[in-house]
């Protein structure tokens, strides 16, 4: 089944591991710390050796297509504000992983097909960006929204893409580097689902990865027939909207529907990490944001260690539904989707309880989910009720 689903991903024009992309950028400048989670450069602005600069570029991916479908089906314009948050948080939380927690510069890029995306949608996305920035500023996570670019690219974009870039200058003494992940440490996982104290509603735990497959595997042919602008017309019909669900169908074990769950905004862990940096500075040895690559993401940043994840946070309802509808092997699920655990903190065992307690104070479940041991080469082993898998 895994091979069948891997083939489906490729037929849809997507890849969980993006080997060709990593090969294409292999010779680019890797910055001061080649194994850091984000590229880190000297402070070229002032040449102050005590400071560094980190930068990230990312976006909401094809989650914007889901927003389009939900908006067209329900008329709910508010989903676009969630997409704005997705584009920001996919950058913000990557930058958290190197230790930055404030004074971020944000720029956005929105590309649309004007025939399908009217001005009210653009206005909702921009308003959503501003609202999220203001909510973070109130929590001490200062973000400066510098504007950006909105372009009409009807020949290149069928609906809309929402992307962002963030940069931050901060003190090198605050750096968190994955090169410091060592044998003997434990892994504290932070749940991506539930309702944090700074969130307005239940979060399904989905971020902005794996949603091309989730959309096509979950949703029915109704969407292909009624919204052909939401998929590439050259795709094999067998991989287009081949599920059984509508966005307005209830999601079992929650109070909402499938569309609301799929469009839960990517959770930021910024308030938690800011508190940890203040109260437990130096205690986080490494941090990994389980976006593209999910539970295998850490493999890009370590050498000579085996990462054993043997006490996973329970998989929340949306991910179980995706697996049931797609029949994707769980080994592939853990590689494509965060499955309810999006942030991993690598720490000394004696520091784990304090970190879990601070996360809990924000309404976020956390637990020790594994440990690190020495090995000849980097490896991740996932031991779960779904099976044991090696990557």
340-354: pLDDT as tens digits: 999 999 999 999 999
DSSP assignment of 97-130: TTT--S-EEEEEEEEE-TTTS-HHHHHHHHHHHH
Output the CA angle 265-260-151, nearest 5 degrees: 55
- Residues ≥6 apart with Cβ < 8 Å to 271: 139, 140, 141, 196, 198, 362
Closest by CA to 85, choosing from 255, 270, 359, is 270
Domain ranges of the chain: 2-390
What's the pLDDT score for residue 23? 73
Exposure string for 301-310, b = 16+ CB within 10 A, e = fewer: bbeebbbbbe
Quickly name the fold that domain 2-390 has: Phosphoribosyl-aminoimidazole Synthetase; Chain A, domain 2 (3.90.650)
Two tokens, residue 386:
């779904």
Digitized pLDDT (tens) for each residue of the chain, 391 residues in all:
344 555 665 666 665 555 665 576 667 778 899 889 999 999 998 999 999 999 999 999 999 999 999 999 999 999 999 999 999 999 999 999 999 999 999 999 999 999 999 999 999 999 999 999 999 999 999 999 999 999 999 999 999 999 999 999 999 999 999 999 999 999 999 999 999 999 999 999 999 998 998 999 999 999 999 999 999 999 999 999 999 999 999 999 888 999 999 999 999 999 999 999 999 999 999 999 999 999 999 999 999 999 999 999 999 999 999 999 999 999 999 999 999 999 999 999 999 999 999 999 999 999 999 999 999 999 999 999 999 999 9
The CA R_g of the chain, rounded to the nearest whole Å, is 20
Q: Average per-residue pLDDT in the chain?
A: 93
Closest by CA to 262, choosing from 11, 71, 15, is 71
Q: Tally the C-alpha atoms within 13 A of residue 369's C-alpha that lie toward its C-beta.
A: 29
What's the pLDDT score for residue 165? 98
Regarding pTM above 0.85, the answer is: yes
Please tell me the total number of residues recorded for the chain in this structure. 391
């Amino acid at each position: 089944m895994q091979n069948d689903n891997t083939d489906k991903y490729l037929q849809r024009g997507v890849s969980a591991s993006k080997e060709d992309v990593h090969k294409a950028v292999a010779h680019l400048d890797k910055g001061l710390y080649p194994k850091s989670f984000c590229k880190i450069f000297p402070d070229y602005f002032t040449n102050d050796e005590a400071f560094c600069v980190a930068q990230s570029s990312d976006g909401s991916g094809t989650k914007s297509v889901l927003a389009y479908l939900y908006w067209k089906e329900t008329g709910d314009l508010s989903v676009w504000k969630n997409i704005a948050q997705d584009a920001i948080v996919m950058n913000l939380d990557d930058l958290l992983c190197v230790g930055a927690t404030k004074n971020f510069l944000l720029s956005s890029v929105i590309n649309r097909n004007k025939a399908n995306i009217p001005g009210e949608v653009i206005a909702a996305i921009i308003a959503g960006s501003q609202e999220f920035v203001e909510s973070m500023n109130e929590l001490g996570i200062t973000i400066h929204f510098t504007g950006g670019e909105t372009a009409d690219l009807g020949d290149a974009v069928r609906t809309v893409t929402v992307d962002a870039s963030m940069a931050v200058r901060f003190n090198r003494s605050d750096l968190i580097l994955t090169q410091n992940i060592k044998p003997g440490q434990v892994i504290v996982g932070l749940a991506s689902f539930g309702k944090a104290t700074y969130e307005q509603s239940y979060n399904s735990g989905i971020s902005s990865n794996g949603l091309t497959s989730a959309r096509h595997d979950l949703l029915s042919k109704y969407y292909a027939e009624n919204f052909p602008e939401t998929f590439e017309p050259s795709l094999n019909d067998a991989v287009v909207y081949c599920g059984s669900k509508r966005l307005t169908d209830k999601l079992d074990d929650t109070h909402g529907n499938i569309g609301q769950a799929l469009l839960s905004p990517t959770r930021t862990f910024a308030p938690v990490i800011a508190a940890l940096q203040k109260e437990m500075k130096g205690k986080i040895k490494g941090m990994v944001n389980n976006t593209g690559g999910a539970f295998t993401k850490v493999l890009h940043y370590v050498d000579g260690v085996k990462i054993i994840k043997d006490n996973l946070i329970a998989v929340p309802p949306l991910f179980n539904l995706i697996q049931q509808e797609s029949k994707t092997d769980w080994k592939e699920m853990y590689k494509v989707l965060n499955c309810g655990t999006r942030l991993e903190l690598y720490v000394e065992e004696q520091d784990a309880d304090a970190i879990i307690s601070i996360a809990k104070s924000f309404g976020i479940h956390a637990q020790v989910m594994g440990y690190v041991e020495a090995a000849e080469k980097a490896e991740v082993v996932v031991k779960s009720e779904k099976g044991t898998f090696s990557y």
